[in-house]
Amino acid sequence: MKNNQSIGIFDSGVGGLSVLQHIHQLLPFENLMYVADSGHAPYGCQDESYIEQRSRVITEHLLAQGAKTIVIACNTATASIIEKFRQQYGIPFIGVEPGIKPAIAITKNNNIGVMATTGTLFSDRYNELSRRFAGSVNLYNQSCPGLADQVESGLLDTPETIKLLEKYLSLLMAKQVDTIVLGCTHYSFLKVQIQKMINDSIQLVDTSRAIAEQLVRVLEQEALKKTSESGSIRYFTTGSIKNTQATINRLLNREVVVNCLP
């Protein structure tokens, strides 16, 4: 591999754009390829064999395009396939997982809420993570069906989205949590709405930037970091180009061109 090769990033849809933004900020010289598997979203309610099949199709597309490393910007896919793919493909894979460890570092009353998809919360990887870091704190897991779908459609402020948020947040606040972990990359785009609904004393944990920082460390360790010339970003989707492009434009607040994944 050469350091001028691209970095691949994928998610079940547009949620991983929250990670992409931090990667581009920290690594402005890198060429990035983002794949939104919007035609098969969400992953959170799918079984592991389906998630592996979709992740493999996308991974092999990114490798064919010359990816030197791949970021799985999806909690559910990370939990399902990252260890297997690291062994099979022989390149660095960076994954995401709910930020339980940083939440434990900042909680004051030891009551932590975790908002995530059903697939993430019932995965072996998440259960292992919980056992490893939870210790004496109380973890309250909140599955959030429908929430990622709203972000996927770019519907951040609609009555339906607000209703879903009120429902899930009220359940966590009833447990007197003082820290809430955003365990799905899609939820990062709802931080403004969430902060309006929770007490000022409740802190949000979003690991999007931490994932980008981990990518920087891996590239430096593997001598793969690109350090000159401006980088580019290419976007691909398996869903409707028109709809995905409109959603990405709305979420990133800029005009982008989205291509069809072959």
Catalytic annotation, residues: 74, 184
Contact 211, 19 (CB under 8 A): yes
Distance between CA atoms of residues 158 and 88, nearest Å: 42
Distance between CA atoms of residues 103 and 150, nearest Å: 26
CA 139 to each of CA 74, 109, 119, 195: distance values in angstroms, whole numbers, following the listed order:
21, 11, 17, 20
DSSP 8-state symbol, 109: S
- DSSP per residue, 52-100: HHHHHHHHHHHHHTTEEEEEE--HHHHHHHHHHHHHHH-S-EEE----H
Amino acid letter, 68: K
Distance between CA atoms of residues 189 and 253, nearest Å: 12
Distance between CA atoms of residues 93 and 95, nearest Å: 6
The SS3 call for residue 110 is coil
The kind and range of the H/E element at 170 are: helix 159-173
